[in-house]
């Protein structure tokens, strides 16, 4: 084996070792970031639950029924009258 072949093999081995080391450090960095995010979410949830527990429960509001604009017996204008009104108002129908 020549010196050149040996250098090439060492470089290939070092490259693989460096890639494995980078993968380990990258994994640990991701784990640390995940733990930080999870801890922050837990803290925010605890704060939200404490805030909600401190507030009095809101009284349920009763929705008022909407007033009907037309009675069931009343009908709107006939279609022809409505179209005529739209055309005279400048609308294209």
C-alpha torsion sign, points 83, 87, 91, 93: positive
Residue 26 is assigned to a structural domain of this protein = yes
* pLDDT at residue 21, rounded to an integer: 79
Residue 15 is assigned to a structural domain of this protein = yes
* pLDDT at residue 71, rounded to an integer: 62
Q: How far apart are CA 29 and CA 21, in angstroms?
A: 12
Residue 63 clears pLDDT 90, i.e. is over it:
no
Q: How far apart are CA 35 and CA 41, in angstroms?
A: 10
Residue 50 is assigned to a structural domain of this protein = yes
Residue 84 is assigned to a structural domain of this protein = no
* pLDDT at residue 8, rounded to an integer: 86
Residue 77 is assigned to a structural domain of this protein = no
Residue 3 is assigned to a structural domain of this protein = yes
- Report yes or no on whether pTM surpasses 0.75: no
Residue 89 is assigned to a structural domain of this protein = no
Residue 33 is assigned to a structural domain of this protein = yes
Instruction: Count Cα atoms within 13 angstroms, Cβ side, for 53.
Output: 6
Q: How far apart are CA 65 and CA 90, in angstroms?
A: 36
CB 83 within 8 A of CB 93: yes
List the domain range (segments joined by +) for residue 8: 1-58
Contacts of 77 (CB under 8 A, 6+ apart): 85
When divided into structural domains, the chain yields a total of 1
């Amino acid at each position: 084996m020549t010196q050149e072949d040996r250098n090439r093999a060492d470089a290939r081995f070092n490259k693989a070792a460096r890639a494995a080391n980078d993968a380990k450090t990258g994994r640990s960095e991701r784990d640390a970031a995940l733990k930080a995010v999870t801890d922050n979410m837990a803290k925010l949830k605890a704060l939200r639950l404490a805030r909600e527990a401190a507030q009095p429960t809101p009284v349920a509001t009763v929705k008022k029924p909407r007033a009907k604009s037309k009675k069931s017996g009343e009908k709107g204008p006939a279609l022809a009258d409505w179209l005529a009104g739209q055309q005279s108002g400048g609308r294209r129908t």
